[in-house]
Structure 1
């Protein structure tokens, strides 16, 4: 009888260990694309413009309550301004989608894949990732905060690294007050 109890006890311990390990394993949480909002803001010598762009799909990966990874695909065909109306809005939105800016016919999506996640506080992280815009991939580092089922991040992106040339003093001289600054901001409020 003792010989039968030992194997049963070992089986129970292994089974319990497996269940415990699975409970703390990787948990992928899909981003709710309807409830999430991504705002962009671009700057020029004479002012700024802002608008939105939609998340096509995305996920954040957790181990327990700790963020360990993530990836996002943005639908570049949805880029549009929110600070203009009528013909002005139509012209700017069309221009942003053209080859002068994001060339959405050829490049309908942009992506971000986390490559390193470092906790910097209870709910805050420093993220390093590969961002791809117009077929070009660059490394970017930014801060992200997670609270419950919400996450917030602010990114500063240099468009000249992705061959977005229009109005850029990195590519053209003598633009004066027609210049558009290379860096633009992205603020992402995500729900999952």
Structure 2
């Protein structure tokens, strides 16, 4: 009986201390969408194009000052070109929003959800997340840096994985100088 009482007492003491040291749920910091920026750059044999797309919503999760998660939604209808003007700008933007590329009418948003965050240095993290474009979700891995209330990240995205086939040498032969490379870059600057 004494042994059972001692075991019960130890279980209560250690159980209580384990509960007390278990971290509470992290802090969710909403991203200021108007102050944040998502820039894209796409490449083709004869050059490149740049532009932006707007964040609809986003948040980063922290446990103390450590990044633990994040989730973001972008408005694909806001996709614009910043390297062209006039008629050519309008044509490129319309084409990128069409079913040849991102099918914005059917797929008005794209989403990124962090699935794993590992510290890789002071204020630096290696993040794996699920990126959804055109209703197709694939994992992506990238680095995130946090400084105060700002975060930056650069992602390489393979559009072929999201059924964005137009001008892709992965799907079509003999494109020559009309080839558009599959990978494009996203540079993300966040304020929260």
Q: Please confirm whether the aligned pair reaches a TM-score higher than 0.5, indicating the same fold.
A: yes
Please give the secondary structure, in 2, of the residue aligned with 1:120: strand
Q: CA deviation at 1:122?
A: 1.3
Q: Distance in 1 between matches of 2:175 and 2:79?
A: 25
Q: CA deviation at 1:25?
A: 4.0
Q: Is residue 70 of structure 2 the alignment partner of residue 79 of structure 1?
A: no
Q: Distance in 2 between matches of 1:169 and 1:184?
A: 14
Kindly report which structure 2 residues correspond to 1:117-128, keeping only aligned pairs within 5 A, or say none.
117-128=117-128
Q: CA deviation at 1:96?
A: 0.5
Unaligned runs of 5+ in 1: 1-13
- Per the alignment, residue 106 of structure 1 pairs with 106
Q: Distance in 2 between matches of 1:169 and 1:122?
A: 40
Q: Distance in 2 between matches of 1:71 and 1:142?
A: 14
1:25-54 per-residue CA deviation (whole Å, 9 max, x = no partner) reads 410000000000110000000000000000
- Per the alignment, residue 33 of structure 2 pairs with 33
Please give the secondary structure, in 1, of the residue aligned with 2:121: coil
CA contact 1:25–1:64 (8 Å) conserved in 2: no
Paired positions, count: 175
- Per the alignment, residue 156 of structure 1 pairs with 156
Q: Distance in 1 between matches of 2:75 and 2:153?
A: 18
Please give the secondary structure, in 1, of the residue aligned with 2:96: helix
- Per the alignment, residue 139 of structure 1 pairs with 139
Q: Distance in 2 between matches of 1:157 and 1:92?
A: 19
Q: CA deviation at 1:21?
A: 7.6
Kindly report which structure 2 residues correspond to 1:61-72, keeping only aligned pairs within 5 A, or say none.
61-72=61-72
Q: Which runs of 4+ in 1 moved over 3 A?
A: none
Q: CA deviation at 1:69?
A: 0.3
Q: Distance in 2 between matches of 1:80 and 1:160?
A: 21
Aligned CA RMSD, in angstroms, stands at: 1.5
Q: Distance in 1 between matches of 2:48 and 2:26?
A: 41
Superposition TM-score, scaled by structure 2 size:
0.88
Superposition TM-score, scaled by structure 1 size:
0.88
